[in-house]
Structure 1
Amino acid sequence: MTGLWETVPRLLGDNRYLVLATADRQGRPWATPVFFAALDEDRLFWVSAPDSRHSRNIAERPDVAITVFDSHAPIGGAEALYLEATAGPADDLLTALDTLNARVPPGKELTGDNLAPSGPLLVYRADVRRHFILIGGRDSRFDNVTDGRLPVTRDQ
């Protein structure tokens, strides 16, 4: 089926928060919402305190799961993007800050003063390995009764 990939950049562009799922060394899960900006469909950025629980988890286990969705969608009308990724501190701060600052309101831009070592925040990035979209239950394009996830790749 063609055209499903188009959901990926649209949801990344339309939504400002993602739910980041991490796990500590013992495998205890943790999920947290974070403001994010996408460089493209394969790299996302956010800022967090390095001592926050999800940041500590990423330091121990860089594999993460991410969900992007509109929490205001009516029941039965939800769209969602699920991502499998590897996360860690951003290696290109200039690109990360430019990407993040393009999404924040005027006057709220991040600067080097906000970032470690002088500031309280660290810029993180997620390198996406796999993309999935939500297929709602009883979707006429599919033979499904309940909601499901469908892996998607760029249209060739």
Structure 2
Amino acid sequence: MTGETDGTRSAAREIIDGNMYMVLATVGADGAPWAAPLFYSTEDGRDFYWVSSPEVTHSRNLAHEPRVGIVIHDSRAPVGTAAPRALYMTATATELDGAQALEGLRVIPAPAGRGGRAIAPDEVRPPAPWRVYRARVSAYSMICPRDGGRPCAEHGLDHEHRADVRL
């Protein structure tokens, strides 16, 4: 479903900027799904960076299948209002090394006050236990808000549905 508005774009940006964790959905070599909450950093809302061990399930899954789903949501939203407070993304994720890893470390953990810490390059180079990862988003969508159970003002639909968003 298409039909974004400036309000949808700004709501999407507020979700990205106002949260610290995303849920990364991956799939393993055996086809089993896996979801992991991860602390993320981003400057532009297109590239999301995080640090993980290459041995954890989501990192092993990325080595097999780089296509991922991501959700950022406000889990504190009252029941019935959560739908407009979630952003869904389709992305391609990869482990970074060399100059790309350094670029990720430049972004992590910004902006200040999010609770993360700066990470030194030696902390993410073998044989260190951590690596830098990036998910590059190719598509965004949000569930269209409906006021009091009424149909969505933009699409006239009275059931939950998504609208594409461009940042």
The TM-score by the shorter chain falls in which range?
A: 0.7 to 0.9
TM-score w.r.t. structure 1 length? 0.88
Aligned equivalent of 2:157, options 139, 144, 153: 144
Q: More displaced, 116-125 or 50-59?
A: 116-125
In the other structure, the counterpart of 2:115 is: 105
User: Which residue type is aligned with residue 135 of structure 2?
Assistant: A
Q: Tell me, what secondary structure is at the counterpart of 2:90?
A: strand
Let me know the Cα RMSD of the aligned residues.
Answer: 1.8
**Overall identity of the aligned pairs, in %:** 35
Query: 1:28 Cα shift?
Result: 1.1
CA distance in 2, matches of 1:18, 1:100: 14
The answer to which structure has the higher strand fraction is 1
Query: 1:153 Cα shift?
Result: 2.1
Gap runs ≥5 in structure 2: none
The answer to which structure has the higher helix fraction is 2
Q: Tell me, what secondary structure is at the counterpart of 1:11?
A: helix
In the other structure, the counterpart of 2:79 is: 75
Q: Larger relative CO (CA 8 A, sep 6+): 1 or 2?
A: 2
TM-score w.r.t. structure 2 length? 0.83
Aligned equivalent of 1:45, options 45, 49, 52: 49
User: Which residue type is aligned with residue 156 of structure 2?
Assistant: D
CA distance in 2, matches of 1:101, 1:34: 12
CA distance in 2, matches of 1:39, 1:93: 15
User: Residue deviations 1:22-80, cap 9 Å, x none?
Assistant: 00123210001000011312111011110100000000000000000111111122211
Query: 1:116 Cα shift?
Result: 3.0
User: Residue deviations 1:91-140, cap 9 Å, x none?
Assistant: 5222211211224437x322223213142111100011111112134333
1:53-72 alignment, distance < 5 Å: 53-72=57-76
In the other structure, the counterpart of 1:96 is: 104
In the other structure, the counterpart of 1:7 is: 11
Aligned equivalent of 1:126, options 135, 141, 146: 135
Q: Tell me, what secondary structure is at the counterpart of 1:6?
A: helix
User: Which residue type is aligned with residue 121 of structure 1?
Assistant: W
CA distance in 2, matches of 1:87, 1:68: 16
Gap runs ≥5 in structure 1: none
Query: Are 1:76 and 1:136, in contact at CA under 8 Å, matched by a contact in 2?
Result: no
Q: Tell me, what secondary structure is at the counterpart of 1:71?
A: coil
User: Which residue type is aligned with residue 104 of structure 2?
Assistant: A
